[in-house]
Amino acid sequence: MAMARRPLSPYWIYRFAYTMALSILHRATGLALSAGLVLLVAWLVALASGAECYALFQGFAGSWPVRLLIAAGVLAFCYHLANGIRHLLWDLGVGLERAEARRSAGIVIVVALLMTAALLWLFFCPGGAS
């Protein structure tokens, strides 16, 4: 008996929409945040290891490539948080209609960008946190 020839994923069936892209991005940011935990643990280990070790870590974390990685991590966190709240609202049955889902997608993007800008200003601008 031959197996029916059908796509393995619904992404091959449906026409691409930006709400689909946000769903894929939510999964990708979750993976990125999991990988980013390595940097957080390294910071905590350096903090617990004493002033000399922490000073070495600060020199590493202050480099431009690592600062860009931190900025990308902050963006991933803000997006994942905002979209996660959207998913929680969906679990409550709020915003499931097509127009509402599209509107909430735009809100998620705007909120994530505003939160990211505010956090990066606090983290990287001199006097931003004071």
Is residue 107 domain-resident? yes
Is residue 129 domain-resident? no
Is residue 7 domain-resident? no
Is residue 96 domain-resident? yes
Is residue 100 domain-resident? yes
Residue 30 structure tokens: 């979750």
Taking the whole predicted model, whether its pTM rises above 0.85 is answered as no
Here the CATH number for the domain that contains residue 98 is 1.20.1300.10
Residues of the domain holding 30: 18-124
Is residue 8 domain-resident? no
| Per-position pLDDT tens, the chain of length 130 | 556 676 566 656 677 777 888 999 999 999 999 999 999 999 999 999 999 999 999 999 999 999 999 999 999 999 999 999 999 999 999 999 989 999 999 999 999 999 999 999 998 887 765 5
Q: What is the CA 119 to chain-centroid distance, rounded? A: 13
Is residue 130 domain-resident? no
Is residue 108 domain-resident? yes
Count of domains in the chain?
Answer: 1
Q: Are 119 and 128 in contact (CB under 8 A)?
A: no
